[in-house]
Structure 1
Amino acid sequence: MKKKFEVWLPLLFSLVLIIGMFIGYKLRSAQPNGGLSVGSSGSALNEAAAIIKQKYVDSVKIDSLEANAIREMMDELDPHSVYLPPLDLKETTEDLSGQFMGIGVEYKLIRDTVNILSVFKNGPSEKAGLKIGDQVIKIGDSTVAGKKVAATTVSNLIKGAIGTKVNLQILRGNQLLQVPVTRADIPRPTLVAAYMIDKNIGYIKLDRFGSTSYREFMEAMEQLKKQGLTQLIFDLRGNGGGYMDAAIDIADEFLSGDKLIVYTEGLNSPKKEYRCKRPGVFETGKLTVLVDELSASASEILSGALQDWDRAMIVGRRTFGKGLVQEIFPLSDGAALKLTVARYYTPLGRSIQRPYNKGKKVYMDEVWSRYANGQAYFADSNKVNTGKQYKTPSGRILYGSGGIMPDIFVGLDTTKTSKEINKLFFNGSFNEFVLHYYLDNQKVLDPYPSPLTFSQQFQPGKKMWLEFVGWAKKDSANLSTVPDSERVRVENRMEAYLARFKWRDNGFYQVLNLTDPVVARATDYLKTQ
């Protein structure tokens, strides 16, 4: 009997196991998730995505759901930690690389039409025959004229692989033209202007801190020093930052020895110091740095270091207040996380970062609120100069937490601009008028060898102003009562915009800066010290 039981025991065991598995399967299938296997080691986000993918009633783009979930997570962090979809990541990289794949034109959307304002010399568009004033009707099969189209849409249609062609339909006067343009690698300078204000004072404007900024800066300094530069106005207004390394390298050219330029530190990022490494190209000459509320991040690193060491006089208005360091972490689908990994501190230990505990909207709106509460107009209205004090080598008192406060405050002009003029600037009518004036008077710039000569000798006077008054009537704007002071300001801007057609940004700033109060204050400081 015992022997028979031993023979049947394995069979009975197998039968019980099979029955148990069957019962377990039925019990599991009766559960709400239908026995879905999501793995115990995954996160709740992965589990949710798997359940949705396998059990949702309709088809769903799981990638879009995951991207939205990541965005929501990033929104819970600081305002500068963001999710970058593949296209945004590409644009971010191109913006700072100093190169992009395009056709070599500058354009502007005016009244729902893409107008070509500049054609790069020896670029693909010049070779294809495009001209200033051409209006783009179609890019490939996409119509871009006569309807509201985003600037990013136009840019994405124009860009493409090097060597490929994009077919443009152009309106030139009353003639429709088909113009094929071969895309190429187009340099995009980050340094937009460099010239001598007088025999000693040079001016440099840096638009952003990109991979080519340091080289562009050194080349500009070499040229200006050959022309007699002994003093410098370095304009960082509107410069929203970029690569921290570029700011550090340029700061190194202004500071001597092994001075500390900036240090970074975060919960998961040990303290790291960045010091001067080489003899600088401009360690002793008089220096002013121009800033405003849109000068941020790398601009604040540079201006903060120079202010802490008493190396430069900071002129303008309080900077943005961004003291966070981001790194880009690629994701497997081509997107990326732009994640804050540390805070940066000026040599004296100042953190420039503004508070962001009230949410992203309040944080971003704070800059614009400065116009409403007087901070953009009056130095006494800036209430950030409280809390811990920091003393420079010369004994000056500085403050952190809220941006770089300039040593010389120059507020916005309190003279009100008329509603009619504002309307013409905001709806693009002013830009359109200057473009048409240039097209109708293309030889107007021919006699002038330089922007300065043009500004000194060209007098738009009543003729150009009267044309503008007539032009404005199309927008139901009555300029007959505009005061003379405002008329003069508008005429000065007209001259600057005209100069851009011949000398591009370098000419634009040479003319515009002649009436710029911040540049004037910096120039006066350099001349009187």
Structure 2
Amino acid sequence: MSNRKLNVFLPLLFAVVLALGMFLGHKMPGSNNGGATVFFNKPNRGPLQEVMDLIKAKYVDSLNTDDLQQEAIEGILAHLDPHSIYIPPAELQRVNEDMEGNFQGIGVEFNITADTVNVISVLSGGPSESAGLQTGDKILKVNDSLIAGNNITPDKIRKLLRGPAGSIVNTVILRQQQQLKVPITRGVIPLYSVDASYMAAPGVGYIKISKFSATTYDEFMKAIRGLEKQGMKKLVIDLRQNPGGYLDAATRIADELLEDQKLIVYTKGKDFPRTDYKTKRPGMFERGALAVLTDEGSASASEILAGAVQDWDRGTIIGRRTFGKGLVQEQYDLDNGGALRLTVARYYIPSGRSIQKPYGKGLDYDDDIAERYHHGEMVNKDSIKITDTVPYKTASGRRVYGGGGITPDIFMPFDTSRFTPTLTAIYTRNTFSNFAYQYYTSHKEVFGPYKDAATFAKNFQTTPALMDDFKTYAKKDSVPGLDHLNAKDEVEIRNRLKAMLARQLFRTEGYYEAINAADPVVKKALEVVEKEKN
């Protein structure tokens, strides 16, 4: 009986389903243009892509549409924030190398004078040292390319020298008027971000961080362990002119300085839910006096680290107001080999303040630093413009400010008197560096006794004879006023010469250990931490 009833109602059921299907099909997008269009309908390209396609297909003359596309992309991004940028394919490798903390090449530093490539430093343990290259060598040929006297540029020589690790680059060098063929097997070359770490005073360590890359945390930990073995109880971290980098590097270092379960920073955006970054583990330096040095070149990750230290009253911020970059970027690879670095959120440090300075509405973001200088902020703390009037408080209740970087606890003015016509000419002509290279290569025997940067910084003296040699050299560079130096310029030149010669011997470690001995900001930091109890 039930089967017969089912047989009666099946045709009716099929009819209902068919009618419902026809009704739904009529209501679906594309139903009025033929069923096939539902599955093969062209996507909406938008007017920008339509214009590009028409130009490429119909324009009267041949055009490089890649250049047009790049200009169009940059034009769109110009209406966003200052840190959303397009990275062309030709630049992406260099950008990534800088952030990853290494590249593949031969491991030398060079300069170019009079169309000659001079080796000014050979990386210890690197491919060039293994092949026998020395400071003072002149590179004449790379593989089949003659480079000496051939209008060579730094970018061109880097492209010739860099290549996959394990590959061989054949060079011809000039050493003491003799040409030598030197094959060099390329390797992975580290790009260090901790430029110096040394004991700046009894019990006081100093660490200079130039950027926050993928290797910065490991470099920092190595530096901390080395300083603790030398008896470090107090620490100065120098973030001046550090433009930032990876957030992870800054938060991991902050974790070594702050107690557990403290907020370091949080990020939040329109389509980017709040994400908190907190300390997770016992740190290497949670106790002990701490000073962090900042200036107008300290940005992004530098401001996060300095801001967390300030907001938790963990240490003293010394120097000048930081840059004011509190925007978070994510990088997206594009099909053409380039990348889009797009702002997706803002940084907020523990007190709740955003460190991003204002942009848009007619403000010239790129000229902000120059405006600070002309406004007097670089020399007078009272001239700092506080753009965010919301009262923020540190953990102990101290008043701090947002809306444009981290304002230091102790202000140190910029020394404008350093830029006399004589010193300006020396800096702009790169005279210090060029002279140091020439003097070192022709007086190597003088530097033999100095086995490390500390010994050099303590014992080397800029003698009157060395000063006379420098003045003679600088006059050939058309530097004015060398015969009538004021006392301040004389001291500046002596200090800078010593630091540049230290760099020739011991790279950035030597430079900072020598130059910091006369740096008023470092001196102030030592004074502050030495007064504090451990």
**Same fold (TM > 0.5):** yes
Find the counterpart in structure 2 of residue 83 from structure 1. Answer: 86
Find the counterpart in structure 2 of residue 242 from structure 1. Answer: 245
Alignment of 1:255 onto 2:258: yes
- How far did residue 246 of structure 1 move? 0.7
Find the counterpart in structure 2 of residue 336 from structure 1. Answer: 339
Partner amino acid, structure 2, of 1:322: K
Find the counterpart in structure 2 of residue 397 from structure 1. Answer: 399
Find the counterpart in structure 1 of residue 316 from structure 2. Answer: 313
Q: Kindly tell me: are residues 141 and 420 of structure 1, through their superposed partners in 2, closer, same or farther at Cα, counting changes over 3 Å?
A: farther
The alignment partner of 2:55 has SS state of helix
In 2, Cα distance between equivalents of 1:319 and 1:139: 43
Find the counterpart in structure 2 of residue 215 from structure 1. Answer: 218
Q: Is the 8 A contact 2:457 2:510 kept in 1?
A: no
**Deviation digits for residues 278-306 of structure 1, max 9, x if unmatched?**
11111111100011111100000110111
Alignment of 1:383 onto 2:385: yes
Alignment match of 2:517 (pick from 490, 514, 522): 514
Find the counterpart in structure 1 of residue 351 from structure 2. Answer: 348
Find the counterpart in structure 2 of residue 432 from structure 1. Answer: 434
| Long gaps (5+) in structure 1 | 1-37
- How far did residue 444 of structure 1 move? 1.7
Tell me the matched-pair count. 491
In 2, Cα distance between equivalents of 1:219 and 1:40: 54
Find the counterpart in structure 2 of residue 286 from structure 1. Answer: 289
- How far did residue 41 of structure 1 move? 1.8
Q: Kindly tell me: are residues 450 and 130 of structure 1, through their superposed partners in 2, closer, same or farther at Cα, counting changes over 3 Å?
A: closer
- How far did residue 427 of structure 1 move? 1.1
- How far did residue 170 of structure 1 move? 3.1
**Deviation digits for residues 330-384 of structure 1, max 9, x if unmatched?**
1112111000000000111111111111568x21121133333322222122122
Partner amino acid, structure 1, of 2:283: G
The alignment partner of 2:71 has SS state of helix
Report matched runs for 1:121-136 at 5 Å: 121-136=124-139
In 2, Cα distance between equivalents of 1:357 and 1:189: 35
- How far did residue 448 of structure 1 move? 2.7
In 1, Cα distance between equivalents of 2:212 and 2:472: 42
Find the counterpart in structure 2 of residue 419 from structure 1. Answer: 421
- How far did residue 390 of structure 1 move? 0.6
Partner amino acid, structure 1, of 2:511: F
In 2, Cα distance between equivalents of 1:132 and 1:352: 44
- How far did residue 395 of structure 1 move? 1.9
Identity, % of aligned pairs?
A: 47
Q: Kindly tell me: are residues 166 and 206 of structure 1, through their superposed partners in 2, closer, same or farther at Cα, counting changes over 3 Å?
A: same
Find the counterpart in structure 1 of residue 199 from structure 2. Answer: 196
Find the counterpart in structure 1 of residue 460 from structure 2. Answer: 458
Find the counterpart in structure 2 of residue 473 from structure 1. Answer: 475
Alignment match of 1:357 (pick from 344, 356, 360): 360
Indicate the RMSD between aligned Cα atoms, in angstroms.
2.0
| Long gaps (5+) in structure 2 | 1-40
Q: Kindly tell me: are residues 462 and 53 of structure 1, through their superposed partners in 2, closer, same or farther at Cα, counting changes over 3 Å?
A: same
Partner amino acid, structure 1, of 2:304: I
Alignment of 1:523 onto 2:526: yes
Find the counterpart in structure 2 of residue 11 from structure 1. Answer: none
Partner amino acid, structure 2, of 1:294: G
Q: Is the 8 A contact 1:418 1:482 kept in 2?
A: no
Q: Kindly tell me: are residues 62 and 39 of structure 1, through their superposed partners in 2, closer, same or farther at Cα, counting changes over 3 Å?
A: farther
Partner amino acid, structure 1, of 2:188: D
Alignment of 1:233 onto 2:236: yes
The alignment partner of 1:369 has SS state of helix
Q: Structure 1 residues 451-460 or 476-485, which shifts more? A: 451-460
The alignment partner of 2:483 has SS state of coil
Alignment match of 2:301 (pick from 298, 301, 324): 298
In 2, Cα distance between equivalents of 1:148 and 1:237: 35
Q: Is the 8 A contact 1:326 1:339 kept in 2?
A: yes
Find the counterpart in structure 2 of residue 446 from structure 1. Answer: 448
Q: Structure 1 residues 142-151 or 100-109, which shifts more? A: 142-151
Alignment of 1:482 onto 2:485: yes
The alignment partner of 1:238 has SS state of coil
Find the counterpart in structure 1 of residue 24 from structure 2. Answer: none
**Deviation digits for residues 7-29 of structure 1, max 9, x if unmatched?**
xxxxxxxxxxxxxxxxxxxxxxx
The alignment partner of 1:415 has SS state of helix
For normalisation by structure 1, the TM-score amounts to 0.88
**Deviation digits for residues 459-479 of structure 1, max 9, x if unmatched?**
222100111111122123340
